[in-house]
Amino acid sequence: MINLSALYDLFEKDFFSDLFALTNIGKRISGKQDIHIEFNQNSLLTFTDGRFIYLPKKTKDDISSAQALVAHESGHIGYGSFELSFIKLINIFSKKYDLPQYFIKQVINVVEDVRVNSLNNIKFPGFYKNLRTFTLQLLPDLIIKMKCSGDLLIYINLYMENYKDFQKKPRFRTRNMSKEDWRVISTAKEFLLKSLTPASSIITIDQLCKVLKKFYMKRKISRNRVPPHKASIKAFYKPDYNDCHESDAVGDYDESFEIIERVDYDSYLKDLQNSDFMEDPCLYENIEEAEYSHNSPVDFEPLINHFEEFIERDKKLESSELSSASEKVIEKIKDLDLNTDDIEKLIEEVERDTKTESMKDYLREVIKSNEFDLNNDIFKQLDPNEKLKLLLEDNENLKAVEIEDLIAILNNENKEDSAPRTCDKFISEIIKLVSDSQTAMEGRLLLIENQDQINGVERKVNDVHIENEDMRSIDLTYKEIVKTYSNIIAKMKYLFRDLRNQNDVDTSQKRGRLNNKFIKAVTSDFRYNKCFTRKLNQKELKILLMVDISGSMAGIKLEAAKVAMVMLCESLYEIAQLRIVLFTGEYDALNIQLKDFEEYPDIKRFDKFGRHHRIGSNLDGVSLKHEAAKLEKNVIILVISDGQPAGTQYGLNDAIKEIQDVKKKFKVYAFSIDAKGDYLNKLYGNDWLLTKSSDRTDLAEKLTQFCKFVVKEFFR
């Protein structure tokens, strides 16, 4: 007799083993440990809310398809879909293009699906292949749904995913798409697949909405209308497109909506299957409730799911480099009309950056293999031909032209990597935002790849010197700052003139230790009026200046920070000891020493100041606590930043405790550039001050006044 309980136990073991494996996939790709898998009851929907991943119940027995879907949904979490500023994006594009919010949500989902799948194809090709196999199984039904409903978004999805037979301009029953409109969609696809960041998704969504608005006609339907599949299995209510009309405003509708034609359903489907066109796209509005729907009157269970809302439920998403970049891109393009030529310029920049990075990596390996040091003073003094000759001596297989280009890039002998392009100002700004988003995305992917190594591991702080790091130096030089702001620096020196790190010896006391000059006073012509002097208890002012160089500080904020640093160095030289540390980090912190307490300001080091080339987030508390552990008491700590901490699995609550621990031993003051939010009070109490990045000297002047006050208090 079969033991049913034993079979049940065996099934449960297999199921939970598979569930454990699926959960680990979700954790691995999302980069989060709090991931759970649930199977929906009798539903084909697959979606995630940022913590739970919901799969169709039928995939319980199809492990490869389940793996593919989990990889896709966890990709949304790990690759930044939840950092798109989802609600803001919907509201802005809905107003910009006068389209229903529900439709904007679907466009966002389509674009993000393509981006996530493309990244998974690069990072986890096995899971992506499984997803493609799963989709191909659904493709026949998917095509029927697309043709019946005129769902152009499905066509665009398949086009962007490079499915065969969907790589040409779509055809509709009565409409025609122009070559220019198809060029917009094709260029947007190329840009998205080149960059694969949330910022590029936003720009792609903008381009798609601009075109799609032209093709979706608006149609009113009655809620009381009997759904076709309930009226008769063999009957189908074919839409009459005389009942639809195109309008530039979504609010305009034709009042006639009940004109329908009853046709043979099988005949209609067969006709569609054999055709190379689809029905004209429509947006449907419920008359009674004035609600929009993108579904056709033909009710199919959705096969490709574009219904996710990238909002983490019951949790306020903490700021990150990706979310910050998304916010800036949305603000920049909400009132701009980017054309196809603009997008092609963005593609050129992305390709240029990609080529430059690969060339840099290649040359580093060449130099490393031959023990060359680019920072070596002798190597720097060589002209390009001599450098080229030196590199080629033991590398006969290398192309001379390629190496010459590489040398030029690494030695900044051509300025293509940093010089502004000959294009409109707003395009230059978009290019910079896309570049910032790429840097943040690279950091995120790096962390996901190293997830197994960092889980449960204490955060580390790497102490480095700026001369050994690859920085994105800003153009403003030390000498330019000194020259431009010489009057202000002179004023600062004047203010600091009496604030020395020593007190004059008081020789007017009548009691105390015998002055060592007294013997000269009584045995020679040396005139000395006072016999006694008191013991001098000297005080020394030390300031630790910590500067945030995360991606959100890029541009005028870092310029303002550099102006402040140079002014402080120049005005406090031989008055106070100043140490400058730059901080950034993703999971581990990176503290970059620019100047130590007793060092003279090194102009070369200062002119390397800028963002780190690879790392774009910040762990304020980790970096600050690490530096504080090195200090003696009475050192004053100044922090220059633009906002709250934003690292991997690191946010405001993590930083509060660490900064408060430091404040128990040291005086910590924050100068926050263009910051907003009550988190400054949580981090620094009342010891913070807002400054404006629009005025380069605002930060420096406020720092000066602050230092004057602190020094007076210090020596009082």
What is the Cα 228 distance to its own chain's centre?
Answer: 47
Indicate the SS3 state at residue 650: strand
Indicate the SS3 state at residue 140: helix
Please check whether residue 54 is in contact with residue 296, taking contact to mean a CB–CB distance below 8 angstroms. Answer: no
What is the Cα 663 distance to its own chain's centre?
Answer: 30
Residue 572 C-beta-side C-alpha neighbours within 13 Å: 30
What is the Cα 594 distance to its own chain's centre?
Answer: 26
Closest Cα to residue 84, out of 315, 312, 313, 426? 312
- Torsion (CA) 32, 38, 44, 46 in degrees, nearest 10: -10
Q: With a cut of 70, say whether residue 84 has pLDDT above it.
A: yes
How far, in Å, CA of 119 to CA of 128, rounded?
A: 9
pLDDT band, residue 633 (cuts 50/70/90): confident
**Chain segment 314-352, per-residue pLDDT in tens:** 555 566 778 888 888 998 888 888 999 999 988 888 877
Angle, in degrees to the nearest 10, between helices 556-572 and 696-714: 40
Mean pLDDT of all residues belonging to the chain: 75
Structure tokens at 713: 């208090």
CA distances in angstroms from 254 to 217, 243, 306, 440, listed in the order given = 11, 7, 28, 48
How far, in Å, CA of 534 to CA of 532, rounded?
A: 7
Amino acid letter, 74 = S
Query: What's the farthest any 2 CA atoms get from each other in the chain?
Result: 130
pLDDT band, residue 156 (cuts 50/70/90): very high
**Chain segment 280-311, per-residue pLDDT in tens:** 898 877 655 555 554 443 344 444 556 788 88
Locate tokens 């431009």: which residue? 484
Q: With a cut of 70, say whether residue 554 has pLDDT above it.
A: yes
pLDDT band, residue 517 (cuts 50/70/90): low
How far, in Å, CA of 528 to CA of 520, rounded?
A: 8
- Torsion (CA) 545, 549, 552, 557 in degrees, nearest 10: 60
Instruction: Give the containing element (helix H, strand E) for 17.
Output: helix 4-30
SS3 content of the chain, % helix, strand, coil (to 5): 50, 15, 35
Amino acid letter, 438 = Q
DSSP codes joined into one string, 158-204: HHHTT-TT-SS---BSS----HHHHHHHHHHHHHHHHH-SHHHHHHH
User: Going from the N-terminus, what domains does the chain have, and what CATH number goes with each?
Assistant: 79-333 (no CATH), 340-453 (no CATH), 458-497+539-714 (3.40.50.410), 506-537 (no CATH)
Contacts of 136 (CB under 8 A, 6+ apart): none
**Chain segment 438-455, per-residue pLDDT in tens:** 877 887 887 777 665 555
pLDDT band, residue 238 (cuts 50/70/90): very low
How far, in Å, CA of 76 to CA of 84, rounded?
A: 11
**Chain segment 262-284, per-residue pLDDT in tens:** 456 667 667 767 788 888 898 87
How far, in Å, CA of 455 to CA of 24, rounded?
A: 13
Structure tokens at 488: 């202000």
CA dihedral for 40, 46, 48, 53, sign (positive or negative): positive
Using the CB atoms, write b or e for 628-637: b if 16+ within 10 Å: beebeeebbb
Q: With a cut of 80, say whether residue 170 has pLDDT above it.
A: yes
Angle, in degrees to the nearest 10, between helices 198-212 and 425-449: 130
Q: Which of 99-113, 168-182, 342-356, 391-405 has the lowest mean pLDDT?
A: 391-405
Please check whether residue 637 is in contact with residue 546, taking contact to mean a CB–CB distance below 8 angstroms. Answer: yes
